[in-house]
């Protein structure tokens, strides 16, 4: 890959172009049938390499990969250089949050189909082909399936990644395995950048704007065919941290965007084999959930106690 004097970055909207520190591109011989957008920041180099290697081994062969560097601390150019499918690497000049960075990647993309993939999600060999097939079947936006990389208690307790074997209308609540027609994405101005960072739920909010813009609920779906492999948590500390963060985000969404929160509750979560947890797993879930609630209560109390001492209240959740 080489830095180009005239590139797709030059054609970015001004607010995004100003964020770019540098970029490199490979020329495209033809328009790709899909653009896979990956934003990377804190994921270890070895894991990102696995993700990129898996994209090089896809059954589909006419797609591109866009990598957006949101502030990594290793030589990303060297890693990307060895990945045949990467057609553009965009280095942002700071960490703008995953939502902004995804919108930048979507603007750089050359395909009419955008696929968003987390940098630590390992795609199945048919990942790209499955997303394309879902759209060939009439979908406007697709949320794929997430399977654990390891069989641990913490992965078994997590039941909203894998929603079963049937295609059903659902929100885009897993942004790291999601796809959307570029025309629809642009029509609603992409992800809401005010939800970047710790706010979360940007996929559900995007679903809300698609629906209120006139898109049919039946065309925004969960489809089990596009699969990535990802561990929710590997130890009790990371599990509790993620659960607590999820609760904070849901509370923030309900307080600031009640209409979006209401939409999320209107969907019934499909059942899957992972919902059928053993009795021991259910008991563990109750105990861990109680720990999450206690952690949140303690954090809230600590903030209230510290407020008279001069600490600013509020801030980012």
> What are the tens digits of pLDDT across the range 223-280?
999 999 998 888 888 888 888 888 888 888 889 899 999 999 998 877 665 555 545 5
- Res 2 pLDDT > 80: no
- Answer with the residue of higher pLDDT: 170 or 232: 170
Paired strand residues for 227: 145
Q: In the prediction, which pLDDT does 303 show?
A: 63
d(CA 184, CA 213): 9
Model confidence at 314, pLDDT cuts 50, 70, 90, reads very low
- Answer with the residue of higher pLDDT: 245 or 14: 14
Give Cβ neighbours of residue 137 (< 8 Å, ≥ 6 apart).
167
Residue 77 to residues 33, 57, 91, 156, 243, Cα–Cα distance (Å): 25, 20, 9, 36, 34
Q: In the prediction, which pLDDT does 283 show?
A: 61
Q: Give the angle subtended at the CA of 207 by the CAs of 170 and 254, to the nearest 5°.
A: 95
pLDDT in tens, 131-144: 999 999 999 999 99
- Residue ranges and CATH numbers for the domains of the chain are 8-309 (3.90.550.10)
Write down the pTM of the prediction. Answer: 0.86
Q: In the prediction, which pLDDT does 313 show?
A: 34
- Res 5 pLDDT > 50: no
Contact 122, 38 (CB under 8 A): no
Q: In the prediction, which pLDDT does 6 show?
A: 54
Average pLDDT over residues 120-147: 98
Q: In the prediction, which pLDDT does 152 show?
A: 79
Q: In the prediction, which pLDDT does 4 show?
A: 52
Model confidence at 156, pLDDT cuts 50, 70, 90, reads confident
Model confidence at 310, pLDDT cuts 50, 70, 90, reads very low
pLDDT in tens, 177-220: 999 999 999 999 999 998 866 557 999 999 999 999 999 999 99
Fill in the DSSP letter of residue 41. Answer: S
Q: Give the angle subtended at the CA of 158 by the CAs of 231 and 232, to the nearest 5°.
A: 20
d(CA 274, CA 289): 18
Residue 225 to residues 109, 114, 158, 216, 219, Cα–Cα distance (Å): 23, 16, 19, 21, 16
Q: In the prediction, which pLDDT does 157 show?
A: 76
Average pLDDT over residues 10-14: 95
- How remote is the C-alpha of 310 from its chain's centroid? 37
Cβ neighbour number for residue 164 with a 10 Å cutoff: 16
Return the SS3 of 288.
helix
pLDDT in tens, 38-83: 999 989 999 999 999 999 999 999 999 999 999 898 999 999 998 9
At 82, list the tokens. 């060895």
């Amino acid at each position: 890959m080489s830095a180009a004097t005239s590139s797709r970055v030059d054609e970015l909207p001004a607010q995004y172009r100003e964020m770019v520190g540098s970029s490199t591109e490979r020329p495209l011989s033809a328009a790709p049938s899909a653009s896979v957008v990956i934003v990377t920041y804190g994921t270890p180099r070895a894991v990102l390499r696995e993700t990129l290697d898996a994209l090089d081994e896809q059954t589909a062969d006419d797609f591109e990969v866009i990598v957006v560097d949101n502030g990594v601390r290793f030589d990303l150019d060297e890693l990307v250089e060895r990945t045949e499918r990467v057609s553009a690497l965009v280095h942002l000049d700071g960490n703008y949050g995953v939502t902004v960075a995804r919108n930048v990647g979507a603007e750089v993309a050359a395909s009419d189909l955008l696929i968003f993939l987390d940098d630590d999600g390992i795609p199945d060999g048919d990942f790209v082909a499955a997303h394309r097939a879902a759209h060939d079947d009439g979908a406007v936006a697709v949320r794929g399936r997430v399977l654990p990389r390891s069989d641990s208690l913490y992965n078994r307790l997590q039941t909203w990644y894998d929603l079963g074997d049937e295609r059903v209308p659902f929100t885009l609540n897993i942004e790291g395995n999601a796809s959307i027609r570029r025309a629809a994405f642009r029509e609603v101005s992409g992800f809401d950048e005010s939800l970047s960072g710790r706010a979360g739920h940007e996929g559900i909010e995007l679903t809300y704007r698609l629906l209120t813009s006139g898109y049919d609920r039946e065309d925004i779906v969960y489809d089990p065919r596009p699969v990535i492999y990802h561990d929710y948590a590997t130890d009790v500390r990371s599990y509790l941290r993620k659960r607590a963060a999820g609760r904070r985000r849901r509370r923030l969404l309900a307080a600031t965007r009640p209409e979006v929160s209401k939409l999320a509750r209107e969907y019934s979560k499909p059942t899957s084999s992972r919902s059928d947890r053993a009795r021991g797993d259910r008991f563990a879930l109750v105990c861990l959930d109680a720990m999450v609630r206690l952690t949140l209560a303690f954090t809230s109390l600590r903030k209230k106690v510290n407020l008279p001492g001069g600490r600013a209240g509020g801030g980012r959740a």
